[in-house]
Structure 1
Amino acid sequence: MRVVCVGLATVDLVQRVERLPGVDEKAEALSADVAAGGPATNAAVTAAALGASVTLVTAVGAHPLGALIRADVAACGVSLLDAAPRATAPPPVSAVTVVRATGQRTIVSRNARGADVTAPPGLADVLGAADIVLVDGHHPALARAAAACGRPLLLDAGSWRPVFADLLGAADVVAASAAFRMPGAAAAGTGAALRAAGVRRGAITNGPDPVAWWSGDRGGELPVPGVPAVDTAGAGDVFHGALAVALARDPDLLPALRYAVRIAGIRVRHAGPRAWLDAVRSQRKSAPGHAPRFHT
């Protein structure tokens, strides 16, 4: 199974604290991790942990911080196609702060703002061989190339980006967050607005609350089992990566959403950006050749 994830790669500094500091206050971190991050990158790491052959298409560049991204995704079993291998500017850096007691997080990041990335050589071959392509909307030229490749397209719609106007009609499935707002759409009308934009199959996640979904004329709400949240950073990205794997196996949306919810539930039970992967891999090894099954 081949999954291609197209979008953002960042360097994430993740620190756990007892409480968020106020203005002009300092807080001593209980722990600190440095890892590659970004929606497409986190989804790629997830898909690889679930047994897929994964390529991440993004912009990393030649800055020393880029070496950290390269090493981390390689250690996670993800191949990298760098659209800007000679760029000397540092890759985006995200500061992630997680509150120990609740697992809630705050993030400060520049994302890919200001980056001018074009489709790299070999992109068409990589996309053409995919069973499914996930796009997060960062690096618009890469996103448009992915949408035009003719392979099943999963759109990660975390927040509105202008390029989504070109992508929504091409997506086989749109997975939006509760914070996603299309221009001109009412606060409670995201699903209706997406349907009006031609999205035939989609889902809207809302943290621990039920996932609203539709597939053609079918639809409803999928409950999210309650789990003790230790760290919610990247949980939505993990959901999207697991959803890509499930849809690549079987395009039926509702079972794929159930699978993605279970995998995201595993992620939030573990502190840090990578510790949760061991739980996924150990269960995969216990059932080789089969999709892992998790119980929440």
Structure 2
Amino acid sequence: MTNVSGLPRGVFLGLATLDVLQYVEHPPGPNEKATSFEHALAAGGPATNAAVTFAALGGRAVLVTALATDPSGDLVRAELASRGVEVVELAPSPRVTPVSSITVATATGERSIVGSDAAGAPPVAVDDDALRRLLAEAEVLLLDGHYGDAAVEAARLANDLAVPVVLDVGRWKPAFDALVGLADHVVCSEAVRPPGFEGTDHAASIRRLAELGAGHVVVTRGGGEVLVRSSGAVETVEVPVPRVVAVDTLGAGDAFHGAYAHAVASAGRATDGSEPAASGASMSDELPRRAAAFAAGIAATRVQHRGPRAWLAHLTG
């Protein structure tokens, strides 16, 4: 089945949390209390925030995740529905929905996070037939490494269907040992290194990811240039990043990943949106550089605005 909606469609499999955000002048120290002057509740998690970004850019986003039937889960479902993100739930449901407590220092825009992620959640199962139907209409699959067995199965199905796989490597998770070799685009945060390569430079880390079977490798470096090594290339190129004043860096990486996925999905469609583009479009040398440049612009918009969602009103891409 082909996606004929005219909109790029992405499937996002990974973590969904309820984020409780507090904005303070500086994070409290031991036995210190800080008064926040602003707070917010929002759905969170790497795949979740990427899906919200993808939808805000005009895509059709489907989030495959695990939520409990509890007040926190209800808040997450409601917020995602208001953002145009369709939620497909894995089974069995966790006992409680993960909650993250986040403190953002207004002086620097930096954040501190305490969260349970999916720790303690029962292993989830993925319905292969249902997931295959979702992917058959998709131009991209993004995985954040949570719910590892389901993520690996999704990546294999995507490979069978020639759907590009974008891997969000915010920190190394056990599932990445299998997922890196199934991914067309491996997008890493600056501090991430494969096992055994901790402390190495970016060049060594990128080479190792390529040896593990990664397609394109992209490394974000905060406000620094994005490193891109196209599949099969020897050289790594630097993609410029807009110079902006950051007031809130929370979710900037997730926004980058969602925008990157949107660029990949858009490249997989003809200009009229009626038929998929030529086979191999996701693996062209030029695509990761264009996708990284586009995503860097979106992430730059994110960091200039305080709050988890206010920035979406300023999107122009």
Query: Residue 181 of structure 1 corresponds to which residue in structure 2?
Result: 193
How do 1:274-293 and structure 2 match up within 5 A?
274-280=309-315, 283=316, 292=317
Structure 1, 234-243 or 103-112: larger mean CA deviation = 103-112
User: Which residue of 32, 40, 43 maps to 1:33?
Assistant: 40
State how many pairs are aligned: 281
How far off is 1:186 after superposition? 4.0
How far off is 1:239 after superposition? 0.1
1:255 & 1:277 partners in 2: Cα distance? Answer: 21
How far off is 1:128 after superposition? 2.4
Whether contact under 8 Å (1:63, 1:87) holds in the other structure is no
Distance change >3 Å, CA 220–CA 194, structure 1 → 2: same
Query: Residue 299 of structure 2 corresponds to which residue in structure 1?
Result: 264
User: Which residue of 194, 209, 214 maps to 2:209?
Assistant: 194
Could you tell me the TM-score, scaled by structure 1's length? 0.92
Whether contact under 8 Å (2:67, 2:94) holds in the other structure is no
1:200 & 1:89 partners in 2: Cα distance? Answer: 37
1:234 & 1:19 partners in 2: Cα distance? Answer: 19
Query: Residue 286 of structure 1 corresponds to which residue in structure 2?
Result: none
How far off is 1:222 after superposition? 1.4
Whether contact under 8 Å (1:155, 1:171) holds in the other structure is yes
SS state of the match for residue 236, structure 2?
A: strand
User: Which residue of 4, 15, 30 maps to 1:8?
Assistant: 15
How do 1:27-176 and structure 2 match up within 5 A?
27-84=34-91, 87=93, 89-115=95-121, 116-120=123-127, 122-149=130-157, 150=159, 151-176=163-188
Whether contact under 8 Å (1:11, 1:91) holds in the other structure is yes
User: Which residue of 248, 257, 260 maps to 1:231?
Assistant: 248
How far off is 1:212 after superposition? 1.0
How far off is 1:65 after superposition? 1.1
| Unmatched 5+ stretches in structure 2 | 1-7, 268-281
Whether contact under 8 Å (2:66, 2:94) holds in the other structure is no
Distance change >3 Å, CA 61–CA 127, structure 1 → 2: farther
- Aligned-residue RMSD, C-alpha: 1.3
SS state of the match for residue 36, structure 1?
A: strand
Could you tell me the TM-score, scaled by structure 2's length? 0.86
| Unmatched 5+ stretches in structure 1 | 284-291
